[in-house]
Each structure stands twice: as C-alpha cells, then as structure tokens.
Amino acid sequence: MDSVAVHSNVAENDQNMWEGGKEPFKASYGKLMMWYFLVSDAFTFAGFLIAYGALKFSVPTWPLPDFVFSSLPGGIHHAPLIFVTIMTFVLIASSVTMVRAVQEGHRENKNGVVFWMGMTILGGAAFLGCQAWEWTTLIGGENMTVTTNPFGTHLVDGVYLDDEHGHPYEAAVQPESFHAGQTYLIHKDHESHEWIQRRYKSEGGQVGVQEFGPKAFGALFFFITGFHGFHVFSGVVFLLIIMINAASGLYAARKNGYEMVEKIGLYWHFVDLVWVFVFLAYYLL
Amino acid sequence: MEHNDINHAKKVVFKGLILLAIITVLEVLIALFGNGHLVEGVHLSKWIMYPMMIGLSLYKAYFIIYEFMHMRYELQGLRYSVLLPMLLLVWAVIAFFNEGSHWKHNRSVINQKNQIGIEQMAAPVEQPAHQSEEVQPPSEH
C-alpha cells in the first residue's frame, strides 16, 4: 500500500522521472523509445536495400532506372526520373510542414499544430497517390509483377530482326539497332496477350531473342517501395489520429509542448529519410 | 523575443526545404547527365557519378536527422546510441555486395565450364573420325 502511494506520488510530482529513476539522456520515455524503434526499423529497411544491392551485383545486367521509370501521367513517355523526382519533392515538402507543426506545438499554438499537420497529411496522401499511379503503370501498362520482369538489358551490340510487333522486318525497312547495356521492355500482344520477344542478330553474327530481365527486380521493387509506402500509409493514419486529438485539446491539457506531435514528427521524418535511400538505390544508381 | 524566435525557426525550415530540393535536383541532374540524357553522347563514368550521388544522399540524411529530427540538440549519449549501431551497416554493405559479385563470378565460371563440357561432348565424335582418317587409310587402300 505504502509503496504504491509513494510510487504514484513520484509520478505525479515529478514528470521528469521515469519510474524510480532519472530520465536517461534527458529525453522522455516516449521520445527515446521512438528513437529506438526507428533504429530497428532502419535495420529492417537496410536489410531490404542490402539484399537489393547483393542481388544486383550478382547478375550481369540490371534494368536501367532511367529507362524503367520514364513515364508521366497523361501518356508522356521518355521523361526519365521526372515523376519520381516530383514524388520526392512531395515527401520533402511534407517533412517540412511537419517541422512547422512541431514548432507550433512548442509554442502551444493549437491552431498552428492542426493546420500544419493537415498539410503534412495532404503531402503524405499525395505521395501515396503518386505511388499508386507508378505501380499501376508498371503492373497494368508494362506487365511487371513480383515474378515477371519484362525489362531486359542487351549484353551485346546488334540489330533487330523483328519489328515491334514481332514480325520479321521487310527487306526495304531499315532495321532498328541497339547497343550493349541498353534496356528494353518486352511488350505483350494486345490481342493474343502473348509476349513479343523480338529476335535480333548480334554484331558477332549470333541470332537470339530478347530475354526477360532479372526476376528479383520486380520482387524487390514492389517489396521495398511497398514496405515504404506502407510506412507512409501508417504515418498518415497516425497523423490523422494525432491531429484530431490535438484539435480536441487533449495535448494542450498535457502542457508538455505537444510532445505527441514531436514523436509522430520523428517517425514522419524517418519515412522521408528512408525514401532518400530508396530513391538513391532504386532510381539513381 | 518569442516572436523573433519563431521567425528565426521559420527561416531555418524554409532554408531546409530549399536545400533539400536543390540537392535532389542536383542528384537527378547528375543521373540524367551521366547517362547521356541531357547532352547527346556525353556520359560520365560510374566512378564519378556514384560517389557524388551517394555523398549527396548521405548529406541529405545528415540534414534530416540533425535539423528536422533535432538530433543536434540531443545529448551525446542519445546521439551515439542511435547512430553508432548504423556503423554495422557499413560492414553489411561491404560483405553482402562482395558476396553478390562473387555469385556473379561463380555463375560465369559455371557457364564457361558448361561451354567446355559442350565442346568436349562434341569433340569425341569428331576426333576418332579424324584419327581413323589418318591411321586407317593405308589399310583400307
């Protein structure tokens, strides 16, 4: 009985103490645990990205990102990396609005917190929308799946023997040529839904057909960007809950400078941080 | 006083936005220029492109952690307990990428051996015929 009473007294009287001791690193329990959760999450993402790197290093060719990611909404093609750059901007902007929300929290300005959290949620939702469009293009338009990667890469220089519809070139037509390291997309026939693997003749005189690209490309892309997208989605949900709580005056009553906003802020910046490396690994290198 | 503080803080945030945007654009420009999309026929070596892009990304990461996540203002113990474990990743990156390129090497060795195997399988058919031509003609004629 006595010890319980003392215990609750401590907790009530001294907000700076965890149960029975001083605050480690002068950080609150919640904030410190958020940091260590982020450490563990960083290792999870690092595991994915390192697996990606190891598999990329283990095959002779890898699809070129500036060929694979070159579509824009509205039927625009050959715009390498533009769309993903816009996505990156959106996420960075939402990170900046989150910083503003945390600052307004420190000032105990409820309306400011709610407004800037709302902007952050919009940014997160916009990013998710962009990702949905990117996935739709890859899956629906370009037939990439977890197990099929139609993005192959030439190992040699040569000329095609078949045109884009898989029919042999007519004698009068100048055949399309290609060089080693060039990435191509294997299309599906619109009517028969069969793959059109064009035949080619290498400079050495050997005849071959377009091969599919490394299988791991699709699986890694969907798992890594999907896992990141899932983090963004959970972040948006948590931001929404915390924004509603903030608007209801729950955190104002705690008088701790909207610490909950600060914690979700840490998480949100981490999501942005992970994107820096996903962007580097998947789209730049 | 407090008013000045928030104005200063806003300025820092705005600068951060501009800085991160510029670095991202720079990274994309390096990728596009290096792969020959901007100037026809001009390519950059991967040994120039990759360290630049990795360096810029690490700077972005540093900026997000230190400014946006306020790591700069935390105690040294917290900084170390969060950041030092990340050094393990340096080992992991080196070890696994090395392993990956070793798989590639192994595969090409296997391909070569398969190629030799095919040639050897083809050879016994050819060689006896060749030898018999040389050795046997006297007895036949």
Supply the pLDDT for residue A117: 97
Look up residue A23 and give its DSSP letter. Answer: P
User: Is there a domain that residue B66 lies in?
Assistant: yes
CATH 1.20.120.80 fits A29-146+215-284, yes or no: yes
Q: Report domain extents, chain A.
A: 29-146+215-284, 150-212
Task: Average the pLDDT over A136-142 and give the result.
Answer: 92
What rounded mean pLDDT belongs to chain A?
89
User: Is there a domain that residue B36 lies in?
Assistant: yes
Count Cβ atoms below 10 Å from residue A27 Cβ, excluding itself: 16
Give the pLDDT band of residue B134 (cuts 50, 70, 90).
very low
B1 forms beta bridges with none
Supply the pLDDT for residue A3: 46
Query: Is the CB of A285 less than 8 angstroms away from the CB of B50?
Result: yes
Q: How far apart are CA B99 and CA A280, in angstroms?
A: 21
Asked which of A8-22, A69-83, A220-234, B24-38 is least confident by mean pLDDT, the reply is A8-22
Give the pLDDT band of residue A15 (cuts 50, 70, 90).
low
CA distance A84 to chain B (A): 10
Give the pLDDT band of residue B36 (cuts 50, 70, 90).
confident
Supply the pLDDT for residue B127: 52
Q: 3-class SS at A185?
A: strand
Q: How far apart are CA B22 and CA A285, in angstroms?
A: 19
Task: Average the pLDDT over A9-30 and give the result.
Answer: 67
Give the pLDDT band of residue B135 (cuts 50, 70, 90).
very low
- Provide CB contacts within 8 A for B56, sequence distance 6+: B23, B26, B27, B30
User: Is there a domain that residue B97 lies in?
Assistant: no
Query: Is the CB of B53 less than 8 angstroms away from the CB of A284?
Result: yes
- Provide CB contacts within 8 A for A255, sequence distance 6+: A108
Supply the pLDDT for residue A17: 59
Q: Is the pLDDT of residue A191 over 90?
A: no
pLDDT in tens, B84-107: 999 999 999 999 999 999 999 999
More confident residue, A228 or A285: A228
pLDDT in tens, A204-248: 888 989 999 999 999 999 999 999 999 999 999 999 999 999 999
Give the whole-number percent of chain B exceeding pLDDT 90. 57
**Cα B20–Cα B26–Cα B28 angle in degrees, nearest 5:** 105
**Cα dihedral across residues A75, A80, A85, A87: positive or negative:** positive
3-state SS of A38-54 is HHHHHHHHHHHHHHHHH
Look up residue A207 and give its DSSP letter. Answer: E
**Cα A28–Cα A32–Cα A35 angle in degrees, nearest 5:** 150
Q: How far apart are CA A71 and CA A258, in angstroms?
A: 42
Q: 3-class SS at A74?
A: coil
Query: Is the CB of A272 less than 8 angstroms away from the CB of B65?
Result: no
Supply the pLDDT for residue B140: 45
User: Is there a domain that residue B59 lies in?
Assistant: yes
Interface confidence, given as ipTM, is 0.86
Instruction: Report the predicted TM-score, pTM, of the whole model to 2 decimal places.
Output: 0.86
Interface test with B, best of A86, A276, A277, A282 (most B CBs within 10 A): A276
Give the pLDDT band of residue A2 (cuts 50, 70, 90).
very low
Give the pLDDT band of residue B116 (cuts 50, 70, 90).
confident
Asked which of A30-44, A54-68, A235-249, B117-131 is least confident by mean pLDDT, the reply is B117-131
Q: 3-class SS at B64?
A: helix
Query: Is the CB of B68 less than 8 angstroms away from the CB of A53?
Result: no
Supply the pLDDT for residue A133: 95
Q: Which residue has the tokens 């104005």?
A: B7
Q: Is the pLDDT of residue A105 over 60?
A: yes
Q: How far apart are CA A91 and CA A153, in angstroms?
A: 31
Interface test with A, best of B60, B73, B99, B110 (most A CBs within 10 A): B60
- Provide CB contacts within 8 A for B123, sequence distance 6+: none
Supply the pLDDT for residue A242: 96
Q: How far apart are CA B73 and CA B60, in angstroms?
A: 18
- What single letter denotes the amino acid at residue B101? S
In total, how many domains does chain B have? 1
Comparing C-alpha atoms, which of A266, A234, A20, A231 is closest to residue B78? A266
Q: How far apart are CA A188 and CA A155, in angstroms?
A: 22
Task: Average the pLDDT over A70-95 and give the result.
Answer: 91
Which residues of chain A lie closer than 8 angstroms to B74, CB-CB? 25, 27
Structural domain span for residue B18: 1-73
Q: Is the pLDDT of residue A12 over 70?
A: no
Query: Is the CB of A54 less than 8 angstroms away from the CB of B31?
Result: no
